[in-house]
């Protein structure tokens, strides 16, 4: 009987094993081998860090993704807790509006940033009328940062709102009765309670920002981030070895962050995605 159950389980698992092998393990192995197929061999992965352009691209991408994650978590936590705690006219509409960026691809997000902060954008027109000079930042890291925050908020606020529903108001009231200030309540009660959701949402936000290319491609090639560097090496320079090695480095950084987050929150990271 037990042997029959094991055989049935194996039959059910085989399709999953086949899919994972065909669409994940084999392409990943091929990517790693191509990255090490140059004259330097496996040293190519180490030599990438010695190339100023590649290293700058990696550092810029990690720094940008980290800052986007931090700002997104702050905005999402404040907005999410407020929406859960308060009832007002138009709340459903605002909640739906916050999730709207999920419907847009990266190219559309980039176009919206251009309409906001481009040469003929809203901010440019307002600053020209007020100060006689156009302020344009759509085609820089600042514009990319704004676009990433815009499409990252829905990916975190929904997770945080779900966790905020489980906040015990009595704990906050007890803390205030003991003389805790509003900041103390946030630091010692709200944030620790929301920690799994914050870690999970932050990990997904970081991973998304690390690998996004549609928005940066729309805003211009002068922005030196890792996904665009990989694209240029592969399509423009036809440097398949460098593109493969950089792709592996990007995946390794992202996978490491997701693994640490998953270890800290159990299965919450998977649920957040």
Question: For 90-131, how does the pLDDT look when each residue is reduced to its tens digit (9 = 90+)?
Answer: 888 888 888 888 888 888 999 999 999 988 889 998 998 888
Give the whole-angstrom CA distance, residue 206 versus residue 210.
6
Closest of 248, 253, 227, 242 to residue 48, by C-alpha: 242
Give the whole-angstrom CA distance, residue 245 versus residue 48.
8
Mean of the per-residue pLDDT values of the chain: 84
pLDDT per residue as tens digits for the range 52-71: 888 999 999 999 999 999 99
Residue 233 DSSP class: I
> pTM of the predicted model, to two decimals?
0.84
Give the whole-angstrom CA distance, residue 1 versus residue 180.
61
Instruction: Give yes or no for residue 6 having a pLDDT over 70.
Output: no
Give the whole-angstrom CA distance, residue 25 versus residue 14.
15
Q: Are 254 and 204 in contact (CB under 8 A)?
A: no
| Domains defined for the chain, CATH in brackets | 52-272 (1.10.3720.10)
Q: Are 136 and 219 in contact (CB under 8 A)?
A: no
112, two tokens: 């919206």
Residue 31: count other Cβ atoms within 10 Å of its Cβ.
15
């Amino acid at each position: 009987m037990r042997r029959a159950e094991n055989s049935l389980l194996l039959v059910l698992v085989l399709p999953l094993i086949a899919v994972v092998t065909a669409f994940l393990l084999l392409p990943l192995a091929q990517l790693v081998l191509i990255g090490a197929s140059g004259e330097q061999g496996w040293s190519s992965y180490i030599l990438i860090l010695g190339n100023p352009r590649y290293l700058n691209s990696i550092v810029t991408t990690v720094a940008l993704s980290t800052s986007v994650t931090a700002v997104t978590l702050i905005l999402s936590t404040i907005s999410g807790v407020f929406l859960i705690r308060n009832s007002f006219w138009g709340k459903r509409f605002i909640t739906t509006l916050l999730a709207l960026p999920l419907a847009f691809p990266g190219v559309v997000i980039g176009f919206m940033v251009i309409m906001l902060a481009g040469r003929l954008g809203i901010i440019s027109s307002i600053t020209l009328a007020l100060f006689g000079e156009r302020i344009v930042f759509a085609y820089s890291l600042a514009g990319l940062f704004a676009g990433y925050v815009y499409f990252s908020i829905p990916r975190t606020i929904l997770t945080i709102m779900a966790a905020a529903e489980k906040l015990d108001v009595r704990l906050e009231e007890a803390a205030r009765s003991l003389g805790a200030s509003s900041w103390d309540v946030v630091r010692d009660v709200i944030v620790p309670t929301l920690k799994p959701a914050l870690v999970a949402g932050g990990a997904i936000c970081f991973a998304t920002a690390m690998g996004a290319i549609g928005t940066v491609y729309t805003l211009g090639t002068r922005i030196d981030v890792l996904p665009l560097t990989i694209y240029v090496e592969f399509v423009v320079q036809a440097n398949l070895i460098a593109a493969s090695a950089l792709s592996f480095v990007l995946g390794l950084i992202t996978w490491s962050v997701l693994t640490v987050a998953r270890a800290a929150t159990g299965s919450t990271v998977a649920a957040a995605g």
